Amino acid sequence: MNELLRKTASEQSKAIKNKEVSALELTKAQFERINAIEDKIGAFNSLTEEIALNTAKKVDEKVAKGEELPLLAGVPLALKDNMNLIGSKTTASSKILENFVSPYNATITEKLLNNLVPIVGKANLDEFAMGSSNENSAFKKVHNPWNLNKVPGGSSGGSAASVAACEATLALGSDTGGSIRLPASFCGIVGMKPTYGRVSRYGLIAFASSLDQIGPLTRSVEDAANLLEVISGHDPKDSTSLNLPVEHYSANLNGDLKGKKVGVIKELLSEGLAPDVEKAVQNAIETYKKLGCEIKEISLKNLKYSIGIYYILATAECSSNLARFDGVRYGYRHPDSKNLMEMYTKTRAEGFGPEVKRRIMLGTYALSAGYYDAYYKKAQQMRALVTQEFEQAFKEVDVLISPTCPNTAFDLGAKSSDPLAMYLTDIATISCNLAGLPGMSVPAGFDKDGMPIGLQILAPQLQESRLFNFGYKFEQSNDFYKQIANI
């Protein structure tokens, strides 16, 4: 493998600016790597070679003229296949959108292209971003680069695996209940979910609109900070977009943590935690102590309800959002229906996979007459209590930490027949989305089988810079992030 592909985005940027390598050479090397190992990983649904090479040429033209390069120009990126890129297929890994070609760009895609970031392909995911293992894709399963028999985590499994396997240096995922942080933890990379509204959702295929947020998957915290700077900002096309200035997130990475307070979430360090994961979190606590932090145990009593709240609200929103896939306007249509109702039912029966159907049915039930107050309304009330509890916790501490997941990556197929066991994988990540907080998973070690472990760090709303500061200081205190899957 070309050694440059193992480097962080910051290191690759420097090499391009110093003319040690051209952006075109780097992008071509990236496609050589993808072609060499993609059969084993399954990270991509499609490649966008022409778009990437054209972007790389523009970077080299700027370098030749001595012009200043935008942030992350020339650094190859994988785009989750639920984000629109003009002229590319955007399938959400679903049969119903198998041949759908994007007629427009998502706002984040525009920002990437304006910053001359070469988009190498559309990354595989759980169908419509529904899943924790990336086994729900209609096309193929994604394999974990650290062990090809294990899952990469979901739903942004293709994005995470592409970065971990050096098929891309950067990737974007979407996070509705942990879909960036969980695969980052399983694949040994950095995954970050911004505050709700920080990044535009325009052009993202919606799963649950009050929870979805786009964020970076990278090899280092600095790369995540820079990528967030590129994609964040107000967008009038998204009514939930926050009208706030874009911060220079990497400016305060090295801030002193002496005297800062780190809260350890008591409920996420209790039973059901794998011993190696618990040990990694205890080591992280010791690391923060050495950095001068005060450690405080924090109890979040409503956390235990978060999975129940999430699977009512997320499925209700999914049932509403996915009503548009009816075979009339775009996507798959059943070829020989006798009437409109038959066309609707056969199109959706054939176009959606089992997990998507399960969630649509759950959500439709929760929203139906007679059950709305008992389920949806009650879940919204509980969501407010979860949010309040976090607000109280952040009056006592600067950040909260926990394992990103109670376990490391499990075997492919191990939880496929037990949806509830699969849902419980997200126990540590879901509450962050319910409260709209920024959260991040950073590499925190390896279990006895050599599989990566992630540490989750949560900060108050809009405190991304604080989150990056705590993540960076932890990352630089060890060398976990420097270790790359040997594939």
Is residue 77 a contact partner of residue 23, using CB atoms and an 8 Å limit?
no
Residue range 466-483: average pLDDT?
97
Domains of the chain, first to last:
3-259+463-482 (3.90.1300.10)
Residue 238 φ/ψ, nearest 5 degrees: -120, 110
Q: Which of 10, 13, 133, 155 is catalytic?
A: 155
Tell me the pLDDT tens digit for each residue of 12-27. Answer: 999 999 999 999 999 9
Strand 261-265 and strand 399-403: the pairing is parallel
Q: Which of 179, 200, 232, 250 is catalytic?
A: 179
Tell me the pLDDT tens digit for each residue of 445-463. Answer: 999 999 999 999 999 999 9
At residue 418 the predicted structure's pLDDT band, cuts being 50, 70 and 90, is confident
Is residue 147 a contact partner of residue 75, using CB atoms and an 8 Å limit?
no
Tell me the pLDDT tens digit for each residue of 260-317. Answer: 999 999 999 987 899 999 999 999 999 999 999 999 999 999 999 999 999 999 999 9
**pLDDT at residue 91, rounded to an integer:** 97
Active site (annotated) includes residue 239: no
Q: Which of 7, 62, 80, 415 is catalytic?
A: 80
Angstrom CA distances, 124 to 46, 83, 315, 416, stand at 8, 11, 21, 18
Please state the pTM of the whole predicted model: 0.96
Helix (H, G, I), strand (E, B) or coil at 352: coil
Residue range 403-412: average pLDDT?
96
Tell me the pLDDT tens digit for each residue of 171-203. Answer: 999 999 999 999 999 999 999 999 999 999 999
* Cβ-proximal residues to 230 (8 Å cutoff; 6+ apart), any chain: 70, 71, 72, 111, 112, 115, 117
Helix (H, G, I), strand (E, B) or coil at 171: strand
Active site (annotated) includes residue 270: no
Tell me the pLDDT tens digit for each residue of 220-252. Answer: 999 999 999 999 999 999 999 999 999 999 999
How many other CB atoms are found less than 10 A from the CB of residue 357?
14
Percent of the chain's residues with pLDDT above 90 = 93
| Ramachandran quadrant class, 83 (left: phi over 0; alpha: psi -120 to 50; beta: rest) | beta
At residue 424 the predicted structure's pLDDT band, cuts being 50, 70 and 90, is confident
Active site (annotated) includes residue 62: no
**pLDDT at residue 1, rounded to an integer:** 65
